[in-house]
């Protein structure tokens, strides 16, 4: 009787063992992320006048820097902020423009002159861009002024 039970149990184990083995399979996933840079504008900046109306600056009271999110999927990309040469609206006579930027996140830097390039580390970096428009003589007349800083990633 004991022999009969063993004779039944051994083939039964052999039959069910492959079922357990087949459940442990590996599903392979494959993908590629290429090297790229993505710029996303957060908030446009605001430039306001100083007390003597000779400067429009994002650092003045009521002004605000513009923010741009830079995402680099790899190392080696460079970022810069190119100042405009004229206003897109408003008189640009006797006006000199200067841009600067600060970086926070994957890459850190503070008050970098706009034309200077900074190498981005892989990851997300927030770029804060400032703009100053200064009259070499005289003062700004009443009216609307707008200028565009170019944030470049290459």
Q: Which residues in 96-108 are b (16+ Cβ under 10 Å) and which e?
A: ebebbbbbeebbe
For the bound state, the minimum distance from the C-beta of residue 139 to other proteins, rounded and expressed in Å, comes to 18
Q: Which stretch binds other proteins (CB under 8 A): 2-10, 19-27, 103-111, 116-124?
A: 19-27
Helix H or strand E encompassing 20: helix 2-23
Q: Which stretch binds other proteins (CB under 8 A): 2-10, 104-112, 115-123, 142-150?
A: 142-150
Number of residues that bind other proteins (CB under 8 A): 46
Q: Which stretch binds other proteins (CB under 8 A): 1-9, 17-25, 102-110, 134-142?
A: 17-25
Contact 124, 107 (CB under 8 A): no
DSSP labels for 120-133? PPSEEEEEEEEEEE
The binding track of 43-72 with respect to other proteins, each residue x by CB under 8 A or -, is -xxxx----------x-------x-x----
């Amino acid at each position: 009787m004991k022999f009969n039970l063993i004779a039944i149990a051994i083939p039964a184990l052999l039959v069910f063992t492959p079922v357990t083995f087949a459940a442990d399979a590996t599903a392979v996933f494959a993908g590629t992320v290429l090297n790229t840079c993505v710029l996303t504008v957060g908030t446009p900046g605001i430039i306001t006048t100083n007390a003597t109306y000779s400067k429009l600056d994002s650092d003045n009271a009521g002004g605000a820097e513009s923010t741009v999110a830079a995402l680099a999927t790899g190392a080696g990309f460079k970022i810069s902020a190119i100042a405009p040469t004229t206003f897109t609206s408003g008189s640009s006579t006797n006006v000199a423009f200067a841009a600067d930027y600060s970086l926070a996140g994957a890459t850190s830097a503070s008050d970098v002159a706009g034309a200077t390039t900074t190498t981005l580390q892989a990851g997300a970096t927030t770029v804060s861009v400032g703009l100053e428009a200064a009259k070499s003589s005289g003062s700004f007349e009443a009216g609307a002024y707008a200028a565009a800083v170019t944030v470049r990633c290459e």
